[in-house]
A and B are shown apart, each in its own frame.
Chain A
Amino acid sequence: MSALTWLALAGAVAVALLVAEEAHRRAAASAAGRRFLRHPTATPGVFILAFFVTLATAAPLLAPYDPAFQIDIVHLQNHAPSAQNILGTDVYSRDVWSRLVYGARISLGIGTIAMLVAVTAGAGVGAVAGYVRRWVGAVLMRGVDVGLAMPRMFVLLMAVALWEHLPLAVLVLLIGLTGWFATSRLVRAEVLSLREREFVAAARAAGAGPTRVIFRHVLPNAAAPIIVSAALGIGNVMLLEAGLSYLGLGVPSPLPSWGSMIYDGEPFMAGAPWTSLFPGCAIALVVMALNAVGDGLRDALDPRKETA
């Protein structure tokens, strides 16, 4: 690895530290932020997330090799970590570190986009089901019950099995569209209680139509639980993607995702554990960080604690 790469890595750590520091400083200035900081793991969580996000965005600077580049298929198969390849190489003599860095893009990207899809769908359906009385809400929620009853992994496996060479975009969409049921229940419950609040009645009395009431008065007040469930949901999606990729059904090779890296290294676990170990650690770290931040947000955004 060149000096430049080391410098870039140091830079990434510095950026993550700065972000964590700044987040801490800002949080300490408000009551909600201090509730966030009361979780001892919240700030380290922010640091870990910031670090991996920096890796993903600055991947070309941080990766000494192209993630798909086979350095020397004859001599560098499953090579242990060394000065050249700090995390070693895999069975195709690709640099594990470079794949990890580019894999952050794929894994975090899938997690974020799929979660955005899920949250949008969940919030939309939940808001309608909660706000509209009569049969619409009941029908929607029975649909959600059906969705929740379906084993998600099974549905995804079926889609992958039936559709050969599933494009990545479709996979992400599928993950998102199978993941909004719980969110919609949460949002509906929130909307049901918000709907009865007097400020909603006041908005209606002022002449606001249903769209304005939902988007200006109801959803912003339901934002806290949505954000929290999204933060926790990203971790879930990443694990799901890793699971699919590990079964060889997720992100197609040679694209590096953390799950597919584990899959690639799995047959050589005994002789070359680094090929699976490092992406595994990355997944574990990010998921734990997301959970820590999610828990902190849950307390910070709890509106019941806001009146004091």
Chain B
Amino acid sequence: MTMQLTHSVSLTPPADKARARASAAAAGIRTEPKLVRIAVITLAVLFLTVFVVLPLVVVFAQAFSKGIAAYLAALSEPEAQSAIRLTLLVAAISVGLNLLFGVIAAWAIAKFEFNGKTFLISLIDLPFSVSPVISGLVFVLLFGAQGYWGAWLREHDIQILFAVPGIVLATTFVTFPFVARALIPLMQEQGTQEEEAAISLGASGLQTFFRVTLPNIKWGVLYGVLLCNARAMGEFGAVSVVSGHIRGETNTMPLFVEILYNEYQFVAAFGIASLLAMLALVTLVIKAILERHLDEGQP
């Protein structure tokens, strides 16, 4: 449940946020007494410190607890390097696939009328409403040795589960909604008039897409890709089920952190974790910049 909640919060379309901000500013009359205001603000700051700032500080403190040399040594271990490489590879492939499918899905949903549209939108949301562990199990049921296609895959010597393809599939599935969900409200708001104008001026479908549609949604696309990438690199549950935890082969960074932690290698565990934390910080900064562009509605 908590997982779903965080997703839906991070997915509020920027346009909605801008509207909410505007109405909050309009109603910005202070009526609470000073004491209440101070109490509420203190509470909020305290909460943020305990639940967000402190954990972040702990991650870095632990990572550097034995000095920078130990930190760098932990990161340059071959198994750590392999986990980093695998994470980058999986994120690149799944973000690429979701970029392609997400843009196509959003385009179809926002610009065309067809039967079963609501069903399609629900389907796109499915990965968010299913626990990631279940998402992973689905792939085990499909591709596992006892799964539907297990026998056929073994005959043809194709390894999907406990290998890179399985991790890519699971990650792609879990992160599918990000790009599509970032684009659908944006494209619906923009309507189809500019596309109609382009076609009446003699543009082909592809010319219309690349010269009119895409430039209008480019900030939204970047926004979706950013969130998709952050989640793809951080995904644990689904990947954990399909990966098999083979050290140096099918361990992504989050999985490797868990293994190191269970083996009491705290510097190494928090070292890798610090990389993921930095990814999160960079993501937040870029997200803030992108949201400003989206709010302005200006390319």
Q: Do A and B bind each other?
A: no
Please list the residues of chain B having a beta carbon within 8 angstroms of any beta carbon in chain A: none
Please list the residues of chain A having a beta carbon within 8 angstroms of any beta carbon in chain B: none
